[in-house]
Each structure stands twice: as C-alpha cells, then as structure tokens.
Structure 1
C-alpha cells in the first residue's frame, strides 16, 4: 500500500509542477523544491482527500513541508480508516 500511496502522491506533485521529469525525494521541500504555493497546497490536500477517501484537517495542512510529510500524513489517515 505504501508504494501505491507514494506513486499517487508523486504523480500529483509532478502534475502540479507540470514537469513529469521532476526528481522527487522524501526530503524534497514542497514550496522551495517543488514550487507549490498556498493554493497548490490546498488543491493537493483536496486531491489527496478525494483519492484516498480521507479527511485532512486544515491545521494539518500547515505542517506539510516535505514529500515525506505528505506521505506520513496520508499513511496516518489511512491507518485511521482501516
């Protein structure tokens, strides 16, 4: 399941950045390295919620700084559902 989550998250980030060749690592920073602004972050969270059928509270959005933070967030919320 982790690989599927990672694949989906990276796919969303690449699509947002409009660069399919973007090299992402767990330590890639969403704002500085990927280039997401605040609107992109809100859209990312909405897409994650829709794709994985989870709910990410607004305050949690502020804690998402790296790709790994996003992966951890999705994993935690998926664990609550199961």
Structure 2
C-alpha cells in the first residue's frame, strides 16, 4: 500500500499546482486517474479520504468546457 500512498502524494502535488492555473487542468483526465486509484482493492480509509478530497478539489476548480475550445474562442476574440 506504500506505492498507493506515494501515488496519492504525487497526485496531490500536481493538482495543487494546477489549481493555480485552472485553464491548464484537464479535469476529466485527473478525475479518471483518481477514480482508478479509488477502484483498487484494499485502500486504507485515509487514502480513500485523500482521493475524495482531490476529486472535490477538481470539481471546485476545473473550468467548464474544453480548454482547447476556450483557447480557440480567445484567439477569435483577439482578431
């Protein structure tokens, strides 16, 4: 289970950095990774709570819509 805890540590660090730049966040990608970890058998209660908190963080910060779509809209607005 030590490897799962290390993976969660890595996810926490990456997501906390991405929170500062929500337009860079690919919420579907990160949510899928977290849900994969949650599906692993034998997770500790503490690890499940940390993963649930990360899912909440993604839901609270992630921009609505596709980032590529937002970038195209910004490019069109600039012309």
Q: Which structure: larger Rg?
A: 2
